[in-house]
Amino acid sequence: MTIFADLTQLSVTLILKQTVWCASINPHQVFGFLGTSTMASLLSAQCAASVRGSGGLVRVRAAALGIAKRNCSSKQAYSDQYLHRSVVPSMHYQKSLPRLPIPKLEDTIRRYLAAQRPLLDDDQFRSTEKVAEDFQSGVGKQLHEELVAQDKNNKHTSYISGPWFDMYLSARDSVVLNFNPFMSFNPDPKAKYNDQLVRATNMVCSAVRFMKTLRAGLLEPEVFHLNPAKSDTDRFKRFIRWVPSSLSWYGAYMVNAYPLDMSQYFRLFNSTRIPKRGRDELFTDERGRHLLVMRKGNMYVFDIVDKDGNLVKPAEIQSHLKYILSDPTPAPTFPLGVLTSENRDVWAGLRDKLLAAGNAEHLQIVDSALFCLCLDDESMRDHIHISHNMLHGDGCNRWYDKSFSVILTKDGQAAINFEHSWGDGVAVLRFQNEIFKDTTEQPLVNPGSAAAAVDSASAVRKLQFNLDRELENGIKKAKENFDSAVSKLTIDALEFKRGGKEQLKRSKLSPDAIAQLAFQMGFLRQYGQTVATYESCSTAAFKHGRTETIRPATTHTKKCSYAFVCQPGQHSVEQLQAMLNECSKYHGQLTREAAMGQGFDRHLFALRYLANSKGQALHSLYTDPTYAAINHNILSTSTLTSPAVNLGGFAPVVPDGYGVGYGVHDEWIGCNVSSYPACNVHEFLECVQMSLEDIFTVVEGKPLS
């Protein structure tokens, strides 16, 4: 059974960065000891009796697209409590997911040097090469052997999971701009359903239904189907449900289906990042039945799950939200939510003071809420306004530490802002896709629905915190720091309408490679240089996989960019097309390697983490200025296309860089880019536009003018 063509298709199709994911797998990691025919026989023997006695069929509804396309045709009318009832239990594949491989050290060093080559002159590269080779033959070899041994003793997880959690939770910078991204929803196709109250009610109800479906094990597992005619069928699902979970992944593989890791999903609900000095903690309390609602900086809670674990009647939820939206209470002078935007050590100290002031119960209510709903009183002017509001807002009407917040503006624009330490966006995007589909196709309230005649004044509780002078001063200072930080952020957007994914695919070019090349060309036009670039690729196809880095700045993109930008008249159309092809091929190779856990960034990170944990002095590889430079990612990029998502965004990761959110659609390409004062985002997008024009001119077989 040949799999490499499938791997190519899988990894390229699933590229979604940073807030989202990219998945692929190296089957040799799990099939090196057992041929596929042997595995098929083993599966048959294990499962035949169970399948023969499986009984009746539970019909399933097609889940939201997510990223793994689901083409399930069977549907049923479902109760108000669940989105659907999957034949296959949600976590059925989790136990048998393959483990994230640790790359060979020599491969990591080779890839590291290849990524450094376009960023350095000859003397710098020779120096870096010497340091890297010394690391490989000495300290690095020892650390690698220890890492491999450690990994063998921890087969329940991945080698990167613990260090990655530590990296996020130990960071002391504010989560706002530095970590939390946003993804905005497309409007409901039925305009009247975009009313703030109607849409908020439907989203809350769908969110509870998602939570209940997940916790009941009825949410369809996250699976990428390369041959949905075989694997995304009732027949296969009835079969695979009886395969023991220790073997189920292999059964899916046999029909070209690739289950993805779902270990992060449990942190979606009732979860909060708790500030602690030195290192934060993640808190989850699934007993919480209430929703946290914020409006004008005021905080309200009410139950959206009843004592029997069922969704509260939608009309009652609508009534409670209507009560909050009509509450005349002015914005507080000292809005507590802004503290969650502070430096983590500062916020940890202030939280201790809040606890000492008698606010422990209220903080526990906030932390254990299912999620946070932010009702904003402002209407949005345009996409740029949406981006600013959903990425950071005014700092007062948010609780940035919640695992996720759903934000609804006065005119019904909606988005999710999520805290990043607990997960990489896989669960968030699935959640977003599911509730968009549910609210638009099966809304539980409509514009004509009457709110229930209930006593919302009794059901809704406004949280009042005890604040002393020191806490008031802390809130005041946090607001000043917040305003100063966000005032420096500029966001601009680009829509390139000349062509998109379809035209590039017809020319046998990777759409993602071409978008990344346009960013390289754009930066070269603007600043005359090639710089460190980051594209995150999920390793969700492996147990407890997190992310790996694709390095889009390559010797191929550098050569091609110079040809287009600096020497447009010196190359024929055929030569330029050949350069585009080389860039596309190499980017595809980097993507496949990263998706299969064969990048270099996470391996070097884990080795450094291991050295630090032992109190060992760092090798000069890590103190080399070129190592710092390649990790100073001036271009931080993330792509996202989804039927539910209008746009997504994040801030730059360095003061002199860009945060580039982009999507390559069928017939157009969109970019949503952020910068600080050191960079001119408007000029950058003009340069990207020019670069895309030139690329498509050459793709069309025309010479550059």
SS3 content of the chain, % helix, strand, coil (to 5): 45, 15, 40
Cα–Cα dist 406/265, whole Å: 17
Residues 494, 671 contacting (CB under 8 angstroms): yes
Q: Which residues contact 494 (CB under 8 A, 6 or more apart)?
A: 669, 670, 671, 673, 685, 688, 689
- The residues annotated with a catalytic role in the active site are 420
Q: What does each C-alpha distance from 239 to 60, 92, 457 come to in angstroms?
A: 14, 12, 51
Residue with tokens 């091929």: 585
Q: What does each C-alpha distance from 420 to 169, 176, 179, 603 come to in angstroms?
A: 10, 10, 6, 21
Q: DSSP secondary structure string, 436-472?
A: HHHHHHS-SS-TTPPPP---HHHH-EE------HHHH
Cα–Cα dist 622/276, whole Å: 28
HEC per residue, 66-134: CCCCCCCCCCCCCCCCCCCCCCCCCCCCHHHCCECCCCCHHHHHHHHHHHHHHHCCHHHHHHHHHHHHH
DSSP 674: E
Cα torsion through 558, 559, 560, 561, rounded to 10? 50
Cα–Cα dist 200/437, whole Å: 14
Cα–Cα dist 463/456, whole Å: 15
Residues 538, 16 contacting (CB under 8 angstroms): yes
- Find residue 305's DSSP bridge partners: 311
Cα–Cα dist 663/659, whole Å: 14
